[in-house]
Structure 1
Amino acid sequence: MATDYDAPRKNEEDQSEESIEELKARRHDKNSGKVDEDETEAAESFELPGADLSHEELSVEVKPKQEDEFTCMSCFLVHHRSQLANEKKMICRDCD
């Protein structure tokens, strides 16, 4: 946004009055297209921290290391060989 440094400056009261009027105008525009949402339905999709997940089971499939991959010894992420920065230290370009 360009600033006109030659324009007269406004005091804080003028700025706050204009901003309140602008906010009121925007509020009416935003609420006109708002869709009502069922609060209970939306709340059911959220999980609270500390929820009991003992009945949940996690299954992970570990795939073998590919020929064109390496594990960075700094960040321990698996990268493609093209990201290798230091072959002796086995460090990726992001960590180098």
Structure 2
Amino acid sequence: MATDYDAPRVTESDESTDTSLEQLTASRNDTQSPVVDVEDTDSAESFELPGADLSGEELTVRVLPKQADEFTCTSCFLVHHRSRLADPAQLICRDCA
């Protein structure tokens, strides 16, 4: 049997268009639940908020000064190796160029 794909589709909701406004609002209120699902465990307790007291922490990262074969990009202000230099006149890295 051939199917006409250009013909409009008819569904059950299209056939029952004679429902009143009162019936629609009643069915909408029946489907909505006033109860909110709340988890028993509060996951927010495991996160640290900004401004937490970190006075007891120490930095363990060793910071090196800029080396002779490095440059600071004038666009992103990151320190790159000279091999990443895209424009020597403006000191711009390849990522920013």
Taking structure 2 as the reference length, the TM-score comes to 0.44
The structure number with the bigger radius of gyration is 2
Query: Higher helix fraction: Structure 1 or Structure 2?
Result: 1
Taking structure 1 as the reference length, the TM-score comes to 0.45
